[in-house]
Amino acid sequence: MNNRIKEKNIVITGASGGIGAEMARLSAQSGANLVLLARSVDKLEQLKKELENEFGVHVVVKSLDVADTEAVQRVFKEVLSEITHVDILVNNAGFGVFRHAHEADLAEVKSMFEVNVIGLVACTSMVLPSMKGRKSGHIINIASQAGKIATPKSSVYSATKHAVLGYTNSLRMEVSDEGIYVTSVNPGPIETNFFEIADKQGTYVNNVKKFMLQPEYVAKKVVERMMTSTREINLPRWMNAGSTIYALFPRAFERIGKRAFNKK
C-alpha cells in the first residue's frame, strides 16, 4: 500500500497488459483513481471492471495510440475535462525490435521513435502545464537498462531509450523547484509479451530467461515510489552495477562482455 497516492489521479499509458496493468492494480489497491490508456480498449474495459468491483475506485479507459500526436492531444483534453487534473503520469507505452543495424526497416525505426520517444514527450506535454500551475505532480518514464548499456541487435531500441533518459534527466532539472517529481524506471528484461515482437525467434529469451524480472515485482517497485523524489529505479541492482562500470570503463566492458552481448 502507498497512502501517498490515495485518491490521486493516475494516468498510465500502455495499461492493457504487462507492468502497465500490474501498476494499475497496485495503484487501485492503494485507493488511487485511474485513467488507463492503450490501443486495446477491450482489455482496458476488462481491467476497469475488475478494479472498480474489487477496490471501488474510479477508472476511466480510452483507446490511444501514443504514436498519433493528434490523438494524444485529443484524448488528454478529454481526460482533463473529466477528471480536472492529473497527479501522476506513467509513460509506459513502448515496444522494441531486435535486429542488426543493417537489417533495420526504416518504417520500423520511425515507429519505435514515434512510440517510445515522441509519444512519451507528447503525453508529458499535455499534463505539465497543470502540474506546474498546481506546483505538484509526478512524471514517471519507463525507460530501460538498454538506455544505459547499448548491446548488439538493439541499436534502434537502445537509441530510443537513451533519448528517454536524456529527456527525463533534463525535465527533472527544469521542474525541480516547482514541486514536480520526475523518475526514470530502468528495468532489465521483463517476462511480458514485449518479446513476442522484439525477439520473434526466441533466442534472447532463451538465453536470459532465468534473469528475467516478473512484471508484478517491477510494478510494485514503481508504485511504492509514486509521489516521492526518487530519481531512478534500477532493476535488477546487479545489472545497474554493470551500467555504472560501463560508464566508467566502456572499452573494457564492451570487450569483456562481447560474448554475452552477442547472445541475442
Contacts of 159 (CB under 8 A, 6+ apart): 113
Catalytic residue numbers? 157
Helix 41-55 × helix 18-29 angle, to 10°: 20
Other C-beta atoms closer than 10 Å to the C-beta of 105 total 11
Q: Are strands 33-38 and 59-63 parallel, antiparallel or unpaired?
A: parallel
Beta bridge partners of 186: 234
Q: 4 near 227, Cβ under 8 Å?
A: yes
C-alpha grid cell, residue 15: 495499461
Instruction: Please report, to the nearest 10 degrees, the dihedral formed by the alpha carbons of residues 84, 88, 65, 102 taken in order.
Output: 150
For residue 236, say if its preceding peptide bond is cis, omega within 30 degrees of 0.
Answer: yes
Task: Give CA–CA dist 8/16, Å, rounded.
Answer: 20
Other C-beta atoms closer than 10 Å to the C-beta of 14 total 26
C-alpha grid cell, residue 112: 519505435
Q: 144 near 187, Cβ under 8 Å?
A: yes
Other C-beta atoms closer than 10 Å to the C-beta of 19 total 28
Closest by CA to 91, choosing from 25, 147, 168, is 168
